[in-house]
């Protein structure tokens, strides 16, 4: 489904990892999703009718690995192969939503741009509103903004000033957690509007980039880890 580096190469490629390619099993018996603080156990897709129960490795097997993209030495994790699979896409939404089903969520915030893919259906599932966080100049009405550092400069995120009300319980969603810088910027936007961060949900987490360590005070959940 950045943070001190060029956003296009390692955020829209934030699912890229600068390390040697390694083979992944096509299917495993179990691979617990990471959820902290909280239960910490594997989260199976909720059963709606005859909905299948899947593991994180079932979804991992749907993610295509593309070596040397967007540049040599980078392994890119392409989630489009998961998204085109109707069952896998549904399972991903179910797994990302499951930990927050018993939490009051007023607004689900999606981070530009792949975060929108997951945050909108999750908002529907949670009976919550959906709010997009966008790059500078993409929103038409009055906004609040936050600037955060990149390796060779800065970037700016914005949200509409009336998108979040004081006291709103907010779930922040993105396709991937890497170093955490963009997430922290989004948290700052929520706090500017006096919302309360109720949790953070990601399809993919790059554990070796240690973004989770910068988010210790929050309820962080990811489905697939590399």
Q: Which residues are catalytic?
A: 114, 151
Q: How far is CA 81 from CA 59, 63, 143, 216, in A?
A: 10, 6, 35, 31
Stated as kind and residue range, the H or E segment containing 187 is: helix 181-192
C-beta separation of 221 from 80 below 8 A: no
How many residues make up the chain in this entry? Answer: 226
Please report the sign of the dihedral spanned by the C-alpha atoms of residue 75, residue 76, residue 81, residue 86: positive
The DSSP bridge pattern shows strands 169-177 and 107-111 to be parallel
H/E segment holding residue 93: helix 86-97
Return the SS3 of 131.
Answer: strand
């Amino acid at each position: 489904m950045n943070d001190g580096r060029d956003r296009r190469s390692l955020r829209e490629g934030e699912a890229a990892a600068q390390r040697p390619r390694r083979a992944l099993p096509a299917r495993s018996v179990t691979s617990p999703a990471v959820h902290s603080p909280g239960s910490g156990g594997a989260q199976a897709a909720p059963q709606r009718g005859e909905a299948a129960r899947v593991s994180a490795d079932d979804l991992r097997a749907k993610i295509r690995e593309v070596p040397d993209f967007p540049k040599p030495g980078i392994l890119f994790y392409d989630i489009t192969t998961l998204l085109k699979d109707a069952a896998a896409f549904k399972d991903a939404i179910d797994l990302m939503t499951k930990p927050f089903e018993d939490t009051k969520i007023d607004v689900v915030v999606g981070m530009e741009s792949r975060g929108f893919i997951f945050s909108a259906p999750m908002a529907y599932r949670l009976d919550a509103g959906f709010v997009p966080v966008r790059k500078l100049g993409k929103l038409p009405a009055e906004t609040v903004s936050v600037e955060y550092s990149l390796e060779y400069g800065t970037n700016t995120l914005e949200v509409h000033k009336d998108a979040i009300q004081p006291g709103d319980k907010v779930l922040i969603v993105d396709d991937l957690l890497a170093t955490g810088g963009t997430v922290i910027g989004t948290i700052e936007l929520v706090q500017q509007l006096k919302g309360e961060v109720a949790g953070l949900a990601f399809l993919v987490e790059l554990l070796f980039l240690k973004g989770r360590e910068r988010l210790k005070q929050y309820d962080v959940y990811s489905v697939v880890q590399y």
